[in-house]
Structures are given as structure tokens and as C-alpha cells.
Amino acid sequence: MDTALQSNDIRDVIEADRAHVWHHMSQHKPYETVDPKIYIEGKGMRVWDAAGREYLDAVSGGVWTVNVGFGRESIADAVRDQLVKLNYFANSAGSVPGALFAEKLISKMPGMSRVYYSNSGSEANEKVFKMVRQMAHRHHGGNKWKILYRERDYHGTTLATLAAAGQPQRREQYGPMPPGFVEVPHCLEYRGQYGDIDNYGERAADAIEAVILREGPDTVGLLCLEPVTAGGGVIVPPKGYWDRVQEICRRYDVLLHIDEVVCGVGRTGKWFGYQHFGVEPDFVTMAKGVASGYAAISCTVTTEKIFNLFKDDPSDPMSFFRDISTFGGCVAGPAAALENMRIIEDENLLENVTAMGERLLANLRVLQEKHPVIGEVRGLGLFCGAELVADRSTKQPVTEPEVQAVIAGCLAEGVIIGATNRSLPGLNNTLCLSPALIATPTDIDAITAAIDIALAKVFG
């Protein structure tokens, strides 16, 4: 590690953090006696903490974000060059990197046409919800205003996106929620709600149709789904699911919004998760991997057909999308995103994801044979989960402290892994792995070797 910070400075940093920083998703009491974790440097898939300890990061910056790895000088250069040229000018104006990145992005998304910029996954999703509500007012006589979301999916931290959270603990103490958000059942076959049947995917999709019929098709405007559920348990939808979902949306004139905040920009081995399933969405949102965390950027992408609805009557002052995002105009975002995409193409990272994802799944399946606590292994590309159960026949989940002990065990081996995000009562029992798209066979084997040791330590 080549750090400019000496040990005395680091103590000051840690004390400043302890005194003044309110960490995300954290119960702070333990920090009164234990140092908060601070990483200070990264290169490739490796990071170093304040004590100078090296870790292999199997979760791409904690929350599946740093897709092209740490320390990419060419991204830093692209951002720097743009910032000294023109760091910002927005309101209704465009920008050079904004235009070039939109063109590049759309070239990877057949059928899509327009990119609306903002700064976070939550914001990108909330833009869709606002577009749908505006379309309800202007084009459906006030109908088609309800938004369907799926149990176990997650779409963000603002109140509207929380209203669309299929993870009840996330919103438990933050109500009342905005109205008009309706839940549909999850599609995780392992915890099947429809019994042991051949056509599980179709049945799970039919459950969405039942909700549309119950609510009244005239009232439902949007179905918002993750292509592969991320923090809700790494759920790859069963065969037949997506075809049926698309069919149902078309039948009832419900727009389909795919939240690619996690899966987008290469994580699953294609540019977008939905591209594995032949889906033709009306909206796609993305954030984390778009610029791999080198700058804040998110995109709400839609079709020309929907875009045109927002310019139907230029004489009407309400006939446009009355929305703005001050820092959605920061050019560092698309400048970083353009270079991020170039790296993925030039280094053939999509192919690498497919190959390394297969290796990761295969390694996890070997661990499953060895450790009865692994009930199921699932994943797509470099996005894998291992669901831990106390008993394979009852599928009784292990406890949260046990999951945390496995994570701590991996950390002790120098590997950072994650788990379902502490928001599903009794079901936060899936280990989550999302290494950078640059992972090598040695990295993948080191990740599963650490999990092997940690599982043996915690469960014998």
C-alpha cells in the first residue's frame, strides 16, 4: 500500500469519523469502543484499510458498484480533463460527455432511445414513477397511476422508492408511505409459493396477473422489477417467467420498468440483465456500475414512443417532464461512464464475467456438497448467492448472527463478502458475491476458499 497518511494522521481521521460521521445502515453504539472501518486505498480487486491490512474485495466496493476495479487512472484522467474544461453547466443545457455517453449507451440497448441523467439509483427509479404518474394525468384521464413492485426487490431509499420496497424492514418506521404502490409475490423457486411444479416461472408470473386483475387493469400503469433480485437474495427468475411477464404487461397495457441498478453495465455477462431474457422494457434504470463509483451518475432510459408523450403539445406549459436534478448535470458522471464502457469493451470484460461467473458458481456448488448449511446456490455472471439453512429438508434459515459470523470469518481470511441486506425478517440468510468484472481464476478460487474456511469455523 502506498498511502500518504501516516499512522498519527490515521488516528485523527478515525477519531474525526467517530465524532462526526453518521454511517449508512449502521447501529453506532459499537463504534464507541470499536474503530469504524475506513478503507483508504484500492487497486484492481484489492483494498487496504486504515491499519494497512489488505483485502480481496468480493463485493465491488461493498455494494456491487466498482465493476472495473479500483485505481483506474484512465477514468480519473477522463474526469480530470473534463472538470478543468467545464465542470458544470446545467438547467436545461446538455453537455459533451452527456451526449456522447447517451449515444454509446443507447447503442447497447436496442429499442431504447432517450437517457435522463440523475445521481443515484433511487433518483433514477423515482423519475420513472414520476413519468408514469404524469402520463396517468395527461394521457389516461387519471387512470393507470398504480405502480406494482415485487416482494424481496429493492428500488431505493427515498419515500416513493421505499413505498416500492419488497423488503418490509426498510420502510417499517418511515411511514406513512405515498399511496398507489402494490406488491406482487416473489419468484424464488427455492422458497416456492406454488408448490413443486414444472412450470414454476409461468405460475409465478401469473401471480402478477392476479394482482393486476384484483387492482383493476385500468388503474395499473407500471410493473417495476429487478432482472435478478439483488439484495433480496440473488434471485434469478425461473425459466418461463420473463416471457410470461412481458405477455401480461402487454395484455393489460402495463409499462415494464427494469431496475438495472445492480445488474446493469456488465455484472451478469451481458450489458444488461434483461438482455438474457429477451425482454423489451419500456423503462430501464441504472446507477452503480455505470461509472463504477468513480463519479455519481444514474440514468433513466426509455423509448422514443414514451419520450414523445412528453412533447405532445408545446403550447401547453405542462406538456414536458417538469423535473430537474441539479447534479444530474455534473459532467464528471458521463465522462467517467464513457471511459468505464470503453474499458469493458476493450478488455472483453463481458466474456470474462461469463467465464468467471461459471467458475464461481461451480466452486460454490462444490462447497454445497461439503457444507450441508448451503441450501441453494444461484447466480448469473459475477453475481452469485449461497442461501444458508440450518436444515436442508425444512429450509429453516440460519440466524443473522451466524451469517454475520461467516462474513467476519471471511474478513479474517482477508476476503470481503456480503449478505442479504438485513431487511427481510428471518430471511437475511444468503451470502452475496459480486466481484469486479476483472476477476481472475485465482481471485475466484481465493474467494471460495475463504468461504470454505469461514463455514467450517461457524458450522463445523
**Which residues are at the interface with ligand PMP (CB under 6 A)?**
63, 120-122, 125, 154-157, 226, 230-231, 259, 261-262, 287
Beta bridge partners of 431: 386, 419
Q: What is the 3-state composition of the chain as percent helix, strand, coil, each rounded to the nearest 5?
A: 40, 15, 40
Helix (H, G, I), strand (E, B) or coil at 5: coil
Q: Could you tell me if 168 and 425 are in contact, meaning their C-beta atoms sit under 8 angstroms apart?
A: yes
Closer of 97 and 156 to ligand PMP (Cβ): 156
Cell of 40: 483508504
Query: Long-range contacts made by residues 87-95, C-beta under 8 angstroms, separation at least 24?
Result: 87/330, 87/331, 87/332, 88/329, 88/330, 88/331, 89/329, 90/326, 90/328, 90/329, 90/330, 91/324, 91/329, 93/329, 95/329, 95/331, 95/334
The amino acid present at 316, given as its one-letter code, is D
Burial group, residue 340, by CB count within 10 angstroms (0-12, 13-18, 19+): buried
**Cell numbers at 109, concatenated:** 440497448
CA distance 360 to 347: 20
209/251 Cα distance (integer angstroms): 9
Query: How many Å apart are CA 65 and CA 280, to the nearest integer?
Result: 25
**Whole-number minimum distance, CB 268 to ligand PMP, in Å?**
13
As measured in angstroms, the least distance from the Cβ of 301 to ligand PMP is 14
Cβ atoms < 10 Å from Cβ of 421: 19
Spatial separation of the C-alpha atoms in residues 433 and 388, rounded to whole Å: 14
Nearer to ligand PMP, 156 or 329 (CB): 156
Mapped onto helix, strand or coil, the DSSP state of residue 414 is coil
The nearer residue to ligand PMP, 5 or 427, going by C-beta atoms, is 427
CB of 141 to ligand PMP, least distance (A): 31
CB of 68 to ligand PMP, least distance (A): 18
- 313's CB contacts (< 8 A; 6+ apart) are 319
Cell (9 digits) for 94: 446538455
Side chain identity at 370, as an amino acid letter? K
Residue that has been written with the C-alpha cell 457444507 in this structure:
371
Contacts of residue 184, defined as CB under 8 A and 6 or more positions apart, other chains included, come to 148, 149, 150, 151, 207, 208, 211, 223
Is the CB of 26 or the CB of 396 nearer to ligand PMP? 26
**Closest to ligand PMP by CB, 24 or 214:** 24
Q: How far is the CB of 292 from ligand PMP (least distance, A)?
A: 13
Residue 58 beta carbon to ligand PMP: minimum distance, rounded to whole angstroms: 16
Least Cβ distance, residue 63 to ligand PMP (angstroms): 5
Instruction: Supply the minimum distance, in Å, between the C-beta of residue 161 and ligand PMP.
Output: 7
Shortest distance, position 218 Cβ to ligand PMP, whole Å: 28
Least CB distance from residue 450 to ligand PMP, whole Å?
23
Minimum separation from the CB atom of position 166 to ligand PMP (A)? 11
Helix 73-85 and helix 332-346: axis angle, to 10°? Answer: 150
Count Cβ neighbours within 10 Å for each residue of 180-195 and write b for 16 or more, e otherwise: bbbbbbbbbbebeeee
Please identify, using beta-carbon distances, which residue of 165 and 458 lies nearer to ligand PMP: 165
Q: Judged by CB, which is closer to ligand PMP: 25, or 84?
A: 25
CB-CB contact of 242 with 203 (8 Å): no
Q: Which is nearer to ligand PMP, 241 or 383 (CB)?
A: 383
Q: How many residues does the chain have?
A: 460
Find the shortest distance in angstroms from Cβ 457 to ligand PMP: 29
